[in-house]
Structure 1
Amino acid sequence: MLYPELFKSLESARWDMAKDVPWDSFDASLLSDEQAMTIKMNAITEWSALPATEMFLRDNRDDSDFSAFMSIWFYEEQKHSLVLIEYLRRFRPDLAPTEAELHEVRFEFDPAPALETLMLHFCGEVRLTQWYRRASEWHTEPVIKHIYDLLSRDEARHGGAYLKYMKRAIDQAGDTARAAFSKIGMLMAASGRAGKPLHPTNLHVSKEHFPRDTVQSRLPDPDWLERWLDEQIRFDKDCEARVIGGILRNLSSLFGETFKTVGDLNRFRKQYAGAA
């Protein structure tokens, strides 16, 4: 089982919201209304770990090891939402999300292949690591800069944990796992070309709720994410290259190959296209 060792490693890196966030360093003059609103949107987005966890537990009923790991992932992701809410509660209570706004992003996701979902969320963690790193750089207020740095480090650790389950899946499912991981990896690594980098929170996940079946579509401002990326934190081509590079490096290690470009990964994907 992977869960016991993952518990130990993630527990040792866990930060304390009361002790490890420098709340007393807050400087109101360095927080704009624009910045505060993006904190609210990220707080609500992080709350969607709740329906994602319900999805993971439903679709992995036969995998108690991974399901147990969800107890860690769910706790830490909900803490991300909580620390952002606490920041607003202390310093911009007028923008703190309401319970109704948080509950709006809790809806049932359609069942999906477990291996593809695992890969999708691994890529999501790689991307979110870089998004939050840029958010920390963009913000000027020291407390929120520190919070986003904590969140970025957490997302990187979560990506590492997902990768361990992906390695286990290769051992257990062989080419079926290679096909699923390379297909989704190709989709996620190439998504920037379409001008809309993919993340689990902006993908359609429920036919019943279409078109409001993405997490982002259910936020108070459904269009905030692209504006945040393009105009605010300025997640540019160099930033996107770090996401793609992270996906390619990790898949190179996972498959025992060398993927220098998305094209290299696509050629590998075609070898296993019929195994899924």
Structure 2
Amino acid sequence: MLYPELFKSMEAVRWNMATDIPWGDFDSSKLSDEQAYTIKMNAITEWAALPATEMFLRDNRDDSDFCAFMSIWFFEEQKHSLALIEYLRRFRPELVPTEEELERVRFEFDPAPALETLMLHFCGEVRLNHWYRRAAEWHSEPVIKAIYRIISQDEARHAGAYLRYMKRALIHHGKELGHQARIAFAKIGVLMASAHRTPQALHPTNLHVNKAMYPEDTVQSKLPTPGWLENWLDNQICFDHEWEIKVSSRILHNMSLLMDSTFNTVQDLNRYRKGLLREMPAGA
């Protein structure tokens, strides 16, 4: 069981919102209206950990270990939202999200294969770590810079935890199920490491998750300004090709370690995926 060890390791580095954020360093002259509004959008986006957790618990009912880990992930993700909301409450109270705005991002996600979803969220955490690192560089106000640095480190730890569960799936599920897990991880890995070739931001909050609500079935579509994410990435924090390559490289590096192979490019991973499909046992 991974949960006890993950709880202990994450408890050891958990930050305190009252004492570890330098609230007293706030400099109003270094926060623009444009920057403050993006903080509101990120606060609401982070709130969507609530429906994601409900999805994880529903789709992993037979995995008590992973569901127990959700108690850590859910707590820390909602804490990110709360920290951003607290920043706005202190310094830009007119931008604090309303309960109605937060409630809008809580809607049901359609059931999905658990292994693909696990890999998708691993990649999402890698991507979010890089987004927040870039956001910390873009902002000039000291307190929000510190907040983004702190929560980016959480996202990296979450990616590491998801990776532990991916490794467990390869080892503990038997040869046939382990093979299926490799296919699932490689398939999503090819998609998520190819984001620099797609017009939309490939992150779980920007993907369609409820056919009955389509096309307004992404978390981002439920925000007060649905198109804010692309503008934030392209024109504000300038998450350019160089940064996308960093995300892709990180995904490929971890896939190499996970699969005990070497993937220098997305094409390498895709060839590996096709090989796995050819080796799939008959009737599987």
TM-score in same-fold range (> 0.5): yes
- Give 5+ residue unaligned stretches, structure 2: none
Question: Paired residue for 1:25?
Answer: 25
Question: Paired residue for 1:115?
Answer: 115
Question: Paired residue for 1:241?
Answer: 245
Question: Paired residue for 2:261?
Answer: 257
What whole-Å deviation, never above 9, does each CA across 1:180-234 have from its counterpart, x for those lacking one?
Answer: 0000000111122023230000000001211110000000000000000000000
Question: Paired residue for 1:231?
Answer: 235
- What does 1:17-56 correspond to in 2, within 5 Å? 17-56=17-56
The alignment of Structure 1 onto Structure 2 pairs a total of residues equal to 276
Letter of the structure 2 residue corresponding to residue 132 of structure 1:
Y
| Residues 192 and 198, structure 1, Cα contact 8 Å, conserved in 2 | no
1:195 has 2:206 as partner: no
Q: CA deviation at 1:92?
A: 0.1
Question: Paired residue for 1:170?
Answer: 170
Q: For 1:177 and 1:20, locate their aligned partners in 2 and report how far apart those are by CA, in whole Å.
A: 39
Q: For 1:49 and 1:197, locate their aligned partners in 2 and report how far apart those are by CA, in whole Å.
A: 18
Q: For 2:149 and 2:98, locate their aligned partners in 1 and report how far apart those are by CA, in whole Å.
A: 25
Report the secondary structure of 1:55's partner residue: helix
Question: Paired residue for 2:129?
Answer: 129
Question: Paired residue for 1:84?
Answer: 84
| Residues 191 and 198, structure 1, Cα contact 8 Å, conserved in 2 | yes
| Residues 53 and 74, structure 1, Cα contact 8 Å, conserved in 2 | yes
Q: For 1:231 and 1:153, locate their aligned partners in 2 and report how far apart those are by CA, in whole Å.
A: 24
Percent identity over paired residues: 71
Letter of the structure 2 residue corresponding to residue 122 of structure 1:
F
Taking structure 1 as the reference length, the TM-score comes to 0.99
Taking structure 2 as the reference length, the TM-score comes to 0.96
Q: CA deviation at 1:273?
A: 2.8
Q: For 2:276 and 2:200, locate their aligned partners in 1 and report how far apart those are by CA, in whole Å.
A: 27
The more displaced of 168-177 and 18-27 is: 168-177
Question: Paired residue for 2:12?
Answer: 12
- Give 5+ residue unaligned stretches, structure 1: none
1:184 has 2:157 as partner: no
Q: For 1:251 and 1:194, locate their aligned partners in 2 and report how far apart those are by CA, in whole Å.
A: 21
Q: For 2:99 and 2:16, locate their aligned partners in 1 and report how far apart those are by CA, in whole Å.
A: 24
1:218 has 2:225 as partner: no
| Residues 120 and 204, structure 2, Cα contact 8 Å, conserved in 1 | yes
1:268 has 2:272 as partner: yes
Letter of the structure 1 residue corresponding to residue 146 of structure 2:
H
Q: For 2:231 and 2:195, locate their aligned partners in 1 and report how far apart those are by CA, in whole Å.
A: 17
Q: For 1:4 and 1:228, locate their aligned partners in 2 and report how far apart those are by CA, in whole Å.
A: 37
Q: For 1:195 and 1:111, locate their aligned partners in 2 and report how far apart those are by CA, in whole Å.
A: 26
Letter of the structure 1 residue corresponding to residue 123 of structure 2:
C
Q: For 1:36 and 1:144, locate their aligned partners in 2 and report how far apart those are by CA, in whole Å.
A: 9
Report the secondary structure of 1:82's partner residue: helix
The more displaced of 172-181 and 67-76 is: 172-181
